[in-house]
Amino acid sequence: MPEPEVRRRIEGNLEALYRRHLDSEGGVDRFYESGRGYYPPEEAHDERRRFAISLEATDGDRFDVGDSEVRFPLHSISKVFAYALALEDHGRDRVLERVGVEPSGDAFNSIVFDERRHRPHNPMVNAGALATTDLVKGADPEERFSRLLDLMRRYAGNDDLYADEDVYEAELRTADRNRATAYLMRSQAMMNSDVEETLALYLRQCSVMVTSHDLAAMASTLAHGAVCPHTGDRVMSRRGVRDVLSVMYTCGMYDFAGEWAYQIGVPAKSGVSGGILAVIPGKMGIGVYSPGLDEYGNSVRGIHVCAEISEHLGLHVFATEGEDELMRGAGGRHEQLRGPRLRGGR
Ligand code: GLN
């Protein structure tokens, strides 16, 4: 634990950050609810002010502010874990045959593929996630899902994660576009197994419920070289972490990914329920939740908060050493968090 005085200072800064962004409601284009789809801000109620920020350092120190106990579905953030599991199950070469690592520049639900290489552009858009989910091994749908859920629980260090059946049913009822994508992929031999089974598995993984606290913990495991800071559990190979973080860095924020990499400069993944998971390699994980989305489908407050944290602490992967303010003055153990740039975990 940091010294009480340091902890208080970090908590104070986090609280001030939260207050500042809670009061600004600009830039929201829409909200998303499973079954209902997108709806305009005028139709939103309490969800307008729903907002949480969580941080978890790679030594396990945690900080939460706002609605950090509120659960929401992972949605697209689940793509990170499906990709991680596909890599562990098949190795990167085999996975690369089925899904690329190229930003698509298109919306996450685009039905456009990399025609030259005959595969979805990357695992962070829906078509690519259908391909990686398709690759998850298991004797039957139950086993495939329980392997995915188990992996997510190990990343979060939280055995209580579960898929919400109502969210799952609602997603399944309104999956026309994902279904179309999946069938088109099978017609072009980009998908091998039972389309409905893989589609259902994909939507079930989207329905796993988390809090901002869980997101920060999952991000912190990625920041810590895939070793969960709480349990000491290695959740994937070191090489796998590098692959996952690279793809998150270039493709994790949909068609805003380039701008995100430029401005904020850390690997991240967002979901339509308003979550953002951001990874500061070797240092910490950030989880933000606020359901107001911009036109790309990214959380507006989530982007602002990550931009501010990255800017203030000098966390951009290409920031110079001198810009790195992370927990400056914390002394002791926190000094080690300020190791060389780009040193991913241990
Ligand atoms: N369940 C959503 C879908 O597949 C997730 C998309 C997202 O979070 N961007 O359409």
pLDDT tens, residue by residue, 53-112: 999 999 999 999 999 999 999 999 999 999 999 999 999 999 999 999 999 888 888 888
Note the pLDDT of residue 328.
54
Query: Within 13 A of 333's CA, how many CA atoms are on the CB side?
Result: 10
If one residue of 34, 198, 206, 295 were mutated to test the ligand 1 pocket, choosing by the most ligand atoms within 8 A of its CB, it would be 206
Per-residue confidence band for 330, with pLDDT thresholds at 50, 70 and 90 = very low
Note the pLDDT of residue 332.
37
Query: Which fold does the domain 4-68+211-338 belong to in CATH?
Result: Beta-lactamase (3.40.710)
Query: Within 13 A of 288's CA, how many CA atoms are on the CB side?
Result: 27
Does any ligand 1 atom lie closer than 6 A to the CB of residue 272? yes
Domain with CATH 3.40.710.10 in the chain: 4-68+211-338, 76-206
Q: How far apart are the C-alpha atoms of 125 and 224, rounded to whole Å?
A: 25
Q: Which long-range CB contacts under 8 A does 257-262 form with residues at least 24 apart? A: 257/103, 257/124, 258/103, 260/303
Beta bridge mates, 284:
57, 280
Atom 2 in ligand 1: which residue has the minimum CA distance? 75
Q: Is the pTM of this model over 0.85?
A: yes
Measure 127 CA to ligand 1 centroid, in angstroms.
Answer: 11
Measure 271 CA to ligand 1 centroid, in angstroms.
Answer: 7
CB 250 within 8 A of CB 257: yes
- Residue of 221, 214, 250 whose CA lies nearest to 235: 221
pLDDT in tens, 279-306: 999 999 999 999 999 999 999 999 999 9
pLDDT in tens, 222-273: 999 999 999 999 999 999 999 999 999 999 998 999 999 999 999 999 999 9
Query: Which fold does the domain 76-206 belong to in CATH?
Result: Beta-lactamase (3.40.710)
